[in-house]
Structure 1
Amino acid sequence: MSKLQPQPWITAKKQPLANGKPERRQPTSIPQGGIRWAGLARWLHLYLSVVSFVLVLFFAVTGLTLNHADWFDDATVTTDLKGKVNPRWVAGTDTATVNKLAIVEYLRATHQLKGSVSEFRIDDRECSLSFHGPGYSADAFVKRSDGTYEVTETKMGLVAVLNDLHKGRDTGQGWAWVIDIAAVFMTLVSVTGLALLLVLKKRRVSGLGWMLLGAVVTGLAYWLLVV
């Protein structure tokens, strides 16, 4: 009996030669550079998506609530407050004699006013200042003659707070950094997703076709509905 010959590699193919005898061809290898780029794009896309999941979800949901604020019954509470500051803080006719810091800190401590001071105006008769934050405002008027004041505080509901956070309205520089970081993350997720699509040969043409279709639909929507 003849000895059994070892089986050829599964991926190897036999190419017939001119004399009719088959020749074993080595399997085609994928360039190492392409493998590395595909792995890097997949890794970045996955972990960037996971890290930015909460931020992306937040801005997606609040984009909907912002566009349809009338869907929500967001109760607004308005409160009128009165009191008196130290008359020396507002005495005199010169605007430079008004103790702005003392007035602001007194109103915060007495009535637990929130937000940042967006403006502080002074004239001969009174001082007016406003506190603003997400879904919140408080307007105070202080008489310079005797230091008495009136404050109108307005507190809006949760949806209004979330909408202001989405817009970055009266949120301060710290939250502005959060919005910038969210924008960077969403950009990187999109770019790495596109890079991953480009290295997948079987999906490249169809994926780019769908991307082009989305761009055309978006452009037509702008042209037909906005312009």
Structure 2
Amino acid sequence: MTDAAAPARPPKALNARRSFWLKQLHQWHWISAAVSLIGLLLFAATGITLNHAAQIPAEPVTVERTATLPAPLLERLEAFPAETTDPVPDAVARWAADAFKVRIAGRPTETTADEVYVALPEPGGDGWLTIDRATGEALRERTTRGWVAWLNDLHKGRNTGRVWYWFIDVFAAACVVFALTGFGLTWLHARQRPSTWPLLGLGLLIPAVIALLFIH
């Protein structure tokens, strides 16, 4: 005799579909977690340091170096336009790389009749290089503000170059996959975890209330 109170079992097709999605979501969740783990730690930590930038002391350190452009290269600059933003000739860029360990090839300049100026911003610091067009005297100045400022600029993508620019895009995409697959897993397990939807609602409600009431 069949027990009328026995719970009905879900159809096999429904179980198979649920198992398929659980397997897929688990796989993409751990893959995206592995790809984005270090980036998440970095961006979470620098979110705190950026939020407290005024309370974190930073002692700027400025270093100046000088050198003299060889006469043959100085002659190359004589043919350079009196006012231009064109990069310096390749030979001059190679000399700067040897003398100052800087890469100015392809960088725009602020050239006048008196000097060539190349801005050299970098994460966590700033710098520049000038070359006197009359004497060939070159001055390289570099200012750094410590590793916290360097990490903060990585967070913002400030003066970090194209490779880091693409890394942020790939990292952000991995985070989106991580979040969406996490939501999918939460959805599938919500029936066994009654606190799921209240907690998700709280996660939405808290920033919404702060934004509406405390951001002016």
What TM-score bracket applies, with the shorter chain setting the length?
0.7 to 0.9
Does residue 113 of structure 2 align to residue 124 of structure 1?
Answer: yes
Instruction: Choose from 4, 26, 32 the match for 1:15.
Output: 4
Instruction: Choose from 172, 177, 198 the match for 1:209.
Output: 198
Matches within 5 A, 1:50-69: 50-69=34-53
Does residue 16 of structure 2 align to residue 41 of structure 1?
Answer: no
Deviates more, 1:205-214 or 1:97-106: 97-106
Distance 1:120 1:85, change over 3 A: same
Displacement of 1:42 after TM fit? 2.6
Question: What is the distance in 1 between the residues matched to 2:104 and 2:185?
Answer: 44
Instruction: Choose from 62, 66, 69 the match for 1:82.
Output: 66
Displacement of 1:43 after TM fit? 2.8
Displacement of 1:47 after TM fit? 3.2
1:78 touches 1:155 (CA, 8 Å); kept in 2?
yes
- Which protein has greater RCO, CA pairs closer than 8 Å, 6+ apart? 2
Question: What is the distance in 2 between the residues matched to 1:162 and 1:203?
Answer: 41
Gaps of 5+ in 2: none
Gaps of 5+ in 1: 1-11, 17-24
Per the normalisation by structure 1, the TM-score is 0.78
CA RMSD, 1 decimal: 2.9
Which structure has the highest helix share of the two? 2
Percent identical among aligned pairs is 24
Question: What is the distance in 1 between the residues matched to 2:34 and 2:88?
Answer: 49
Match of 2:175 in 1: 186
Q: How many residues align?
A: 208
2:65 touches 2:140 (CA, 8 Å); kept in 1?
yes
Give per-residue Cα distances to partners, 1:185-214, cap 9 Å, x unaligned: 111111011111111242566322322222
Question: What letter matches 1:35 in structure 2?
Answer: S
Distance 1:13 1:130, change over 3 A: farther
Displacement of 1:120 after TM fit? 0.8
Displacement of 1:124 after TM fit? 1.4
Does residue 133 of structure 2 align to residue 144 of structure 1?
Answer: yes
Question: What letter matches 2:81 in structure 1?
Answer: D
Displacement of 1:130 after TM fit? 1.4
Question: What is the distance in 2 between the residues matched to 1:80 and 1:57?
Answer: 35
Give per-residue Cα distances to partners, 1:162-207, cap 9 Å, x unaligned: 1111111111111111101110111111101111111124256632
Question: What letter matches 2:33 in structure 1?
Answer: S
Displacement of 1:69 after TM fit? 2.2
